[in-house]
Chains A and B, each alone.
Chain A
Amino acid sequence: MQTAVLFSRVSRHFGSVRAVDDVDLDVAEGEFFAMLGPSGSGKTTCLRLIAGFEQPTAGHIEIFGQTAEGVPPYRRNVNTVFQDYALFPHLSVIDNVAYGLMIRGRGKRERLQEAEAALELVRLPGYGDRRPNQLSGGQRQRVALARALVNKPKVLLLDEPLGALDLKLREQMQEELKVLQRSLGITFIFVTHDQGEALSMADRVAVFNDGRIMQVGTPQDIYQRPRSRFVADFVGASNVLPPEFTGSGKWASLRPEAVRLVSSGGHRARVVSRNYLGGQTRLSLEAGGQRLNMLTASGETLPADGAEVLIDWQPSDLHLMEDSQ
């Protein structure tokens, strides 16, 4: 399979701030790739480097084998769905969607037809005559998607496109984006700070911190086998346990759902607080001077705050990490 986007030792510095610091990355053609990280971790700057809004301070970027440094955004067959959609307020929905085709000098009838087809693809047929400010957030999001897809880009970049939507709409859009990506076969690169979103949608995830990539892998890799304390902590709020606790000389991660209450054996712990989350309840525990979170089904009768309990986990759930950072 061909490489869609290749970063080799790419840096982007703003003065003394290293927004992207010596990043290597390759995204395969047709892949749904997520860039995950807290705000300011460099993921959006990476996206902007691919779009051409930023130029690397050092390093080399290739898009489908062609050098991208010094190439302006308008000469890249790459389209972006912006975080706040960036729809043109002075144009109708159909003219927004047809904008890229108009710029490329396509005839009016042809481009309106294609734009209408793109609106159907995002399930907004017949919305062409409206203005962006007459649409809801979710509809604007779809228009932004149609406006990018109508150009049949080689790579589609999505910058936190679901961030402004409410939970239900977000879950629906996640599903639709995935279906759309599979059916179109376009390479999607998706920036998000929401680990659930990244894990549920992407084929592969890159976890960013401080301008560097901490780990790249499939969602299962990232979730079950974090290589570093940062990844373990950021993805799924794992319990990160120090070497003293594990007795193995290495830091370890332990998923909250892997911890169980037992009636005998295991480790002694005290309940510090309880958080009711609906189907599950999160217990905050203290065991041997170490704070631990566990997730348990809400239906059971749960120990009260301050209660002494016994907890245990499968030895295989305790994942030892190579990286102590």
Chain B
Amino acid sequence: MSAPQAAILPGRGGAAGTVADVFWRNPKVLLALLLIPPLLWLGIIYLGSLFALLAQSFFSIDEFSGMVKYELTLKTYGELLNPANLDIIARTVLMAAAVTVAAAVVAFPVAYYAARYARGRWKALFYLGIMLPLWSSYLVKVYAWKLILAKEGILNWIFEKLHLTWLLEAYLSAPLIGGNSLSVSYTGTFLVFLYVWLPFMILPVQAALERVPGNLVEASADLGATPAQTFRTVLLPLAMPGVVAGSIFTFSLTLGDYIIPQIVGSSRLFIGQAVYAHQGTAGNIPLAAAFTVVPVVIMGFYLWGAKRLGAFNAL
């Protein structure tokens, strides 16, 4: 036996020991100290500036002087609803929807493989593969895609080598999705959006699938469900919160982006570009603010609809 030990050890002493004891007795103080700085940041700097921007949308611009008139009015929202602006909104929402659906379809098998089968080294490789594109600059990736999709680009070259130029030309001559080349078509914009936002879909879907116990899939098969039935009735509903989380990223990021459609795509505007143009060169802050409200409202409806459809039931 060594020397007898006291049942209660003396305090550690020093400032750190005293502080530790105080926090242990008052855990709420520690919690408050940890939470107040980020809450101030979120509450004042982030939400505050968002509401300040929203408030701007209820002002209007004086058509003669080009100065902002600080009177509450819905005139700016009326302007938002003119055909040219509605066009921009519809174009952006359709693009965001297409990108989101495609991202979900592409992401699901990848996420499923990673969650269910990948182990050890393969899992590390999976994360690296998903994250690696996020490490390089967004602009570099977008310009790289411009080179891939351009008329003198790699994709054209491949089609030519495969003697499939006629196929590409037939596709490009289609209305709406076509254009002079892929880099100036909606298809090009779509492909770049899909590429850039895909990790934001894969990761939440993978996290959701990881939480689905493997024996649920076995139980489903045991009860007579074919793999397709299991996918529809067990996997998809349970992965839905992940798909919705991912789609919030892909949908809202596409709604707000103003760089990709400017570099790759036709010259027609998306919401982000409209905001950029109105707050910059045009100096029409109220209309820019009104445009900004559009994605916020759309996301609100989107989440409400998703909840109504039971997308969060499995949470």
A→B interface (CB under 8 Å): 51-53, 72-74, 78-80, 82, 84, 86-90, 99-100, 102-104, 147-148, 151
Residues of A contacting B226 in the complex (Cβ-Cβ under 8 angstroms): 74
| Given known A-B contacts A74-B226, A103-B229, A86 and B213 have beta carbons under 8 A apart | yes
| Given known A-B contacts A89-B314, A90-B238, A82 and B229 have beta carbons under 8 A apart | no
7 CB < 8 A contacts A-B: A73-B221, A74-B223, A82-B215, A90-B314, A100-B224, A103-B224, A104-B224
In whole angstroms, what is the CA distance A99 to B220 when docked? 8
In whole angstroms, what is the CA distance A207 to B19 when docked? 60
For residue B219, CB closer than 8 A to chain A, the reply is yes
For residue B218, CB closer than 8 A to chain A, the reply is yes
In whole angstroms, what is the CA distance A308 to B314 when docked? 66
Residues of A contacting B213 in the complex (Cβ-Cβ under 8 angstroms): 84, 86
Is there an interface contact between A103 and B225, defined as CB atoms closer than 8 Å?
A: yes
Is there an interface contact between B223 and A89, defined as CB atoms closer than 8 Å?
A: no
Is there an interface contact between B221 and A79, defined as CB atoms closer than 8 Å?
A: no
Is there an interface contact between A80 and B219, defined as CB atoms closer than 8 Å?
A: yes
Residues of A contacting B314 in the complex (Cβ-Cβ under 8 angstroms): 89-90
Is there an interface contact between B223 and A100, defined as CB atoms closer than 8 Å?
A: yes
Is there an interface contact between A86 and B224, defined as CB atoms closer than 8 Å?
A: no
Q: How many A-B residue pairs have CB under 8 A?
A: 63
Is there an interface contact between B219 and A82, defined as CB atoms closer than 8 Å?
A: yes
Contacts of B198-234 to chain A: CB distance below 8 A = 213, 215-216, 218-226, 229, 233-234
Is there an interface contact between A79 and B238, defined as CB atoms closer than 8 Å?
A: no
In whole angstroms, what is the CA distance A9 to B11 when docked? 68
Is there an interface contact between B223 and A103, defined as CB atoms closer than 8 Å?
A: yes
For residue B237, CB closer than 8 A to chain A, the reply is yes
Residues of B contacting A53 in the complex (Cβ-Cβ under 8 angstroms): 218, 221-222
Residues of B contacting A80 in the complex (Cβ-Cβ under 8 angstroms): 218-219, 222
| B226 to A, closest residue via Cβ | A74
| A90 to B, closest residue via Cβ | B314
| B211 to A, closest residue via Cβ | A89
In whole angstroms, what is the CA distance A151 to B225 when docked? 12
B→A interface (CB under 8 Å): 213, 215-216, 218-226, 229, 233-234, 237-238, 313-314
From residue A158, how far is it (CB to closest CB) to chain B in Å? Answer: 12
From residue A124, how far is it (CB to closest CB) to chain B in Å? Answer: 18
Other-chain contact of A74, B215, B225, B233, B234 (Cβ < 8 Å): B225
Other-chain contact of B222, A51, A84, A87, A88 (Cβ < 8 Å): A51
In whole angstroms, what is the CA distance A102 to B224 when docked? 10
| Given known A-B contacts A100-B223, A103-B224, A103-B225, A90 and B218 have beta carbons under 8 A apart | no
| B212 to A, closest residue via Cβ | A89
Residues of A contacting B223 in the complex (Cβ-Cβ under 8 angstroms): 74, 79, 99-100, 103, 147-148, 151
In whole angstroms, what is the CA distance A102 to B225 when docked? 9
Is there an interface contact between B219 and A90, defined as CB atoms closer than 8 Å?
A: no
Is there an interface contact between B221 and A72, defined as CB atoms closer than 8 Å?
A: yes
Residues of B contacting A147 in the complex (Cβ-Cβ under 8 angstroms): 223
| A157 to B, closest residue via Cβ | B222
In whole angstroms, what is the CA distance A100 to B226 when docked? 11
Is there an interface contact between B221 and A88, defined as CB atoms closer than 8 Å?
A: no
Is there an interface contact between B216 and A88, defined as CB atoms closer than 8 Å?
A: yes
Other-chain contact of A84, B215, B229, B233, B234 (Cβ < 8 Å): B215
Is there an interface contact between B222 and A73, defined as CB atoms closer than 8 Å?
A: yes
In whole angstroms, what is the CA distance A74 to B220 when docked? 8
In whole angstroms, what is the CA distance A72 to B215 when docked? 15
In whole angstroms, what is the CA distance A84 to B218 when docked? 12
Is there an interface contact between B222 and A89, defined as CB atoms closer than 8 Å?
A: no
| B213 to A, closest residue via Cβ | A86
Residues of B contacting A88 in the complex (Cβ-Cβ under 8 angstroms): 216, 219-220, 234
Is there an interface contact between B219 and A74, defined as CB atoms closer than 8 Å?
A: no
In whole angstroms, what is the CA distance A103 to B216 when docked? 15
Residues of A contacting B313 in the complex (Cβ-Cβ under 8 angstroms): 90
Residues of A contacting B216 in the complex (Cβ-Cβ under 8 angstroms): 86, 88
| A100 to B, closest residue via Cβ | B223
| A77 to B, closest residue via Cβ | B224
From residue A276, how far is it (CB to closest CB) to chain B in Å? Answer: 30
Is there an interface contact between B218 and A86, defined as CB atoms closer than 8 Å?
A: yes
From residue A62, how far is it (CB to closest CB) to chain B in Å? Answer: 19
